[in-house]
A and B are shown apart, each in its own frame.
Chain A
Amino acid sequence: MNKPKGADDFSRYERISRNIRKTILDTVHRTKSPHVGPSFSIVEALTALYFRFLRISPETPGDPERDRFILSKGHACPALYATLAERGFMTVEDLQKFAVNGGALEQHPNIDIGRGIELSTGSLGHGLSVGAGMALAAKAAAKRYRVYVMLGDGELNEGSVWEAVMFGAHHRLTNLVAIVDQNGAQALGDTKDILDLDPLGDKWRSFGWDVVEIDGHDFAQLFSALGLEACGRPRVIILRTIKGKGVSFMENELLWHYRPPDEIEYRLAMKELGP
């Protein structure tokens, strides 16, 4: 297990996650933007990646040797922007330019290497293919960087994802890590009611991937999964998560895929997220 110093003390990461959630909430509330629910479900994973595992630096965002992270479920970009701001790739002023006319940040990511955004996403089912291409480029040039691609579980409805899954396994892209945010919901309802993905782990396994299934809000599990050594196959980390995680009345409520909080809800949510 690859535990940080002061193992089991994840208070630093919990604090960062709290800050990120509050920034997300502020951002969507101020701009009346959607997608707070699917942003909240990936906060711990982004925290673990950006504050512990990704070999990246805001001072050298274009370093060819850097690890790449692609948010293939681009609609959750409020979480990505908040994380990038917390990590120093963006400023508070940048966040003020989210979802405003003439601003700098759309409601789906737009490639901006300087600000840490590796790919324009928003249409689902693109990220894993692009990630596979980046991983292939690294292998061809014997570079050590790794490529992480975060997908939604609903996104796995897209056939192109499975084309990339097959390609990754066939070419043994051991430097490619897929992370599936299995929050169990997609645009119009529960994934199990719309296009059942189960048994999800077995699907990936049968396609030749190394599969790790964990609680996506548990830092101990995230750290051990992300810290695993590369094996002979590409790896998928399936995160069991809660859409809207962190604010009681948003958890597992599809409404928050769409609706921004009003003034009262905003204050209640902020209170729940703590100081």
Chain B
Amino acid sequence: MRNAFFKALEESAGGNEDIFILTADLGFKLFDDIKRSCPGRFYDVGIAEANMIGIAAGLSLCGKDVYCYSIAPFLVMRAYEQIRIDAAYHNSNIKLVGVGGGFTYGLEGFTHFGLEDLSLMRSLPNMTVVVPADAFEARCLAIACSGHRGPMYIRLGRAGDPAVHRSSPDFRIGKAIVMSEGKGVAIFATGSMVHTAMEAVRLLKTKGIDATLVNVHTLKPLDIEAIKWAALDHDVIFSLEEHSVNGGLGTAIAEVISEMGYSGFFRRIGIEDAPRRPVGDAFHLRERHGLTAEGVSDAVLKALEEAYL
């Protein structure tokens, strides 16, 4: 997914003298082509995320279109105030590309997890927040965001993420994608969890439950219309994200449906709290937190029992 994004970016940046790409000393081999095709417009600023965002804002104020790259928590949290003021408040043309949402970096440990990034970025003014679900979406996003004005946070998986599309989808920033339509139960998922949800939907089908799946790749601006449609048509709604249950997709959906007076059953599936001694790869950690097809399917079945007791 990450490579697909940067390959597409390289294709557009090569011929566009206004595109600058900065990294805070991460992305081994990722930028080799970009270095060649964008001489003088790629900078490794060093391990200095705050400075990177400030530089990006200065470039943006002088008419440049800037991409900043690092691992999600370092990018978002070390430089949060620079992002808040220099990027968001100034409505700068800065795309913050964070790799490794959720447990992607598994065995590297808690410091490398992106569990709060969506919540933090979603609350900033002017900020667009996008989480592609696979390499197809990442590529579409790289193309779509080149014409986008204002700051954007992009959360990418690393590599080897399973595809959720067979070909390039109709991908528009701010427009959710209905992956499958069922009855009664709707699951809203984002990023890595879209694929997990697709598998969970298949499992649920074997149990006689036909669930709708909505891929919410853009958390801000949220596709309120899609959420309202699902809320009106479904009695049971789940949100699913590889992120804290506080402040991310689940919270965003809760805000919409509670304000519209939704009277059905709603539950957030995500990471309840910081894991203790989280030693394990991404698959292991997702499993421990119920973020697998079986885990999600079980959670849905359990919740349905509760809802209809």
Contacts and interface: CB of A to CB of B under 8 A. Distances in A.
A128 B82 CA distance: 12
Interface in B36-60: 40-41, 43, 45-46, 48, 50-51, 53-60
Interface stretch (B84-92, B128-136, B174-182, B260-268): B84-92
A137 B53 contact: no
A137 B58 CA distance: 8
B63 interface: yes
Contacts of A106: none
Q: Which of A133, A163, A166 has the most CB of B within 10 A?
A: A133
Interface string B60-83: 111110000000000000000110
B59 A137 contact: yes
Given A118-B61, A126-B86, A138-B62, A160 B40 contact: no
B46 A167 contact: yes
Nearest to B60: A133
Contacts of A111: 90
Interface string A97-141: 000000000000001000000111001011011111111111011
A130 B62 contact: no
A159 B59 CA distance: 21
Most chain A CB within 10 A, of B45, B48, B62, B89, is at: B62
How big is chain B's contact interface, by range? Answer: 20 to 34
Interface on chain B toward A: helix, strand, loop, or mixed SS? Answer: helix
Nearest to A166: B46
Nearest to A134: B58
A164 B50 CA distance: 9
Q: Is the interface of A mostly helix, strand, loop or mixed?
A: helix
A275 interface: no
A164 B51 contact: yes
Contacts of B50: 125, 129, 159-160, 163
Contact of A163 (B40, B48, B60, B61): B48
A67 to B, nearest CB: 12
A163 B41 contact: no
A130 B48 contact: no
A208 to B, nearest CB: 14
Interface of A: 64, 111, 118-120, 123, 125-126, 128-138, 140-141, 147, 159-160, 163-164, 166-167, 170-171
